[in-house]
A and B are shown apart, each in its own frame.
Chain A
Amino acid sequence: MNIPAVLIVYSLPQVACEELKNSRMFMKILEAVLRTGNRMNVGTDRGDAQAFKLDTLLKLVDIKGTDGKTTLLHFVVQEIIRTECSHVSGANNHSVNNPQYTLQEEVDSMKLGLQVVSGLSGELANVKKAAVMDSDALSSDVSKLAKGIEKVAEVVKLNEESPLKEANQKFSEAMKGFLERGEEEISKIIAQEKNALSSVKDITEYFHGNSAKEEAHRFRIFMVVRDFLSILDGVCKQVGKANERTLVGSRQYVMPAVTTSTPIFPEFNGKQPSDSSESD
């Protein structure tokens, strides 16, 4: 597979981008969700695998556990919050499954979990804001701005030709001063626009192959991602609420939603491969 230009364009400096750096928890959850999705895809035909995998993301909410209520996505989100929070609160290296894990620690880690979940919604909001951005409208704004500067150029030209040129010198100077700066800024923003749009093209072609050439497919991957994000947002909120209820009930007795005696997702109940190294 060819390395798309987007890989080069968005190499290290962009990876360090603040917004993403601050989304550690979000990336954790995403990673876990994707890993689960990948497990579901094992053994599927590689032919249209990428496109199929994208749709699997959306299917994660359709798969329900043995209790008939908990979806696979709920389960993954809940699990990752529990593991993460036991890392944060686990100054004594207690893990969730440790029998020594006390009631107080359980309550503390759940409170932390709630904070994390509420932060998550904010992070998702930023991504979603960009997701609904209309690139056509942006392009038309850019060309409007670029066209508008002709008005300034025209006025400067009229001034030069005017018999009252001397009297208008101040006006002329002000306009000329702007013209130089404005033209420079406009070529910069046009370059930025081209850069963004060609990345959209690259990324679509990379994941959709030749079908990306059909206009209908162009933004499909972005739509799947957008839909998935709103589903994930909803699930995180629900898990947060469920944790809150458990917290209220936990004054007498702690029974976290997921650690029931019969596993809700037997086939997924094993530890996540990369987590096992961190959580022991």
Chain B
Amino acid sequence: MLSIGNCDTLGTELLESLLKMAPTEEEKTKLKEFKDESPFKLGPAEKFLKVMLDIPFAFKRMDAMLYIANFDSELEYLKKSFDALKVYIFFNFFLLISLV
């Protein structure tokens, strides 16, 4: 899904929790250096992160996808707010002009 870029299928909640998992630079290097033949085994979460690191700039993609997923509702909220503000400003104007 990350390779297709369909923001709706993943959902904002999943994207948010995936983004919280983003490894630091140090963790990234360690994960990349990790070899399968190592005596220590990786847990499922680490395995998943290692796979993610193979996708080019996976977390930047997710961040962009999260932004896109939220874009419409955020835009709608702002539009509505400015519309309401416009009515309110006009209302004030009407009220104040009646006083002059």
Residues of chain B lying within 8 A (CB to CB) of residue A142 = 78
Does residue A63 face the partner (Cβ distance < 8 Å to B)? no
Question: Is chain A's binding surface mostly helix, strand, loop or mixed?
Answer: helix
For chain B residues 41-71, which have a beta carbon within 8 Å of chain A? 56-57, 60-61, 63-64, 67-68, 71
Contacts of A135 in B (CB 8 A): 85
Chain A's nearest CB lies how many Å from the CB of B9? 11
Taking CB as reference atom, which chain B residue is nearest A142?
B78
CA distance A158 to B57 in the complex (A): 8
* A174–B93 touching, CB < 8 Å: no
A6 to B86 CA separation, bound complex (whole angstroms): 10
Please give, as numbers and ranges, the residues of chain A lying within 8 Å of B6 by CB-CB distance.
174
Instruction: Mark contacts of A215-245 with chain B using CB atoms, 8 A cut-off: 1 yes-contact digit, 0 otherwise.
Output: 0000001100100000000000000000000
**Residues on the A chain within 8 Å of B61, using CB:** 155, 171
Q: Are B91 and A133 in contact (CB under 8 A)?
A: no
Q: How many residues of A contact B (CB 8 A)?
A: 63
Query: Residues of B within 8 Å of A, CB-based: how many?
Result: 38
Option from B4, B74, B92 in Cβ contact (under 8 Å) with A174: B4
Residue A105, interface by CB 8 Å: no
Asked if A185 is at the interface (CB within 8 A of a chain B CB), the reply is yes
In the complex the two chains form, is B60's CB within 8 Å of A155's CB?
Answer: yes
With A6-B89, A10-B90 as contacts: A158 and B74 at CB distance below 8 Å: no
What separation, in Å, do the CA atoms of A31 and B32 have in the docked complex?
73
Give 1 or 0 for each of A158-201: 1 = CB within 8 Å of chain B CB: 11001010011011111100100010010001001101100110
Residues 82-100 of B, flagged 1 when their CB comes within 8 A of A and 0 if not, give 1011111111111110111
Contact between chains at B99 and A53 (CB < 8 Å)? yes
Q: A168-B56, A171-B3, A189-B82 are in contact. Are A148 and B93 (CB under 8 A)?
A: no
Given contacts A53-B99, A151-B60, contact A189 B79 (CB under 8 A): yes
Minimal beta-carbon separation of B18 from chain A (angstroms): 15
A10-B90, A50-B100 are contacts. A133–B60 as well, Cβ < 8 Å?
no
> Min CB distance, B92 to chain A, in Å?
5
Interface presence of A19 (CB below 8 A): yes
A155 touching B98, Cβ below 8 Å: no
Instruction: Give A contacts to B, CB under 8 Å.
Output: 6-7, 10, 14-15, 17, 19-20, 27, 30-31, 34, 37-38, 49-50, 53-54, 57, 127, 129-131, 133, 135, 138, 141-142, 145, 148-149, 151-152, 154-155, 158-159, 162, 164, 167-168, 170-175, 178, 182, 185, 189, 192-193, 195-196, 199-200, 203, 206-207, 221-222, 225
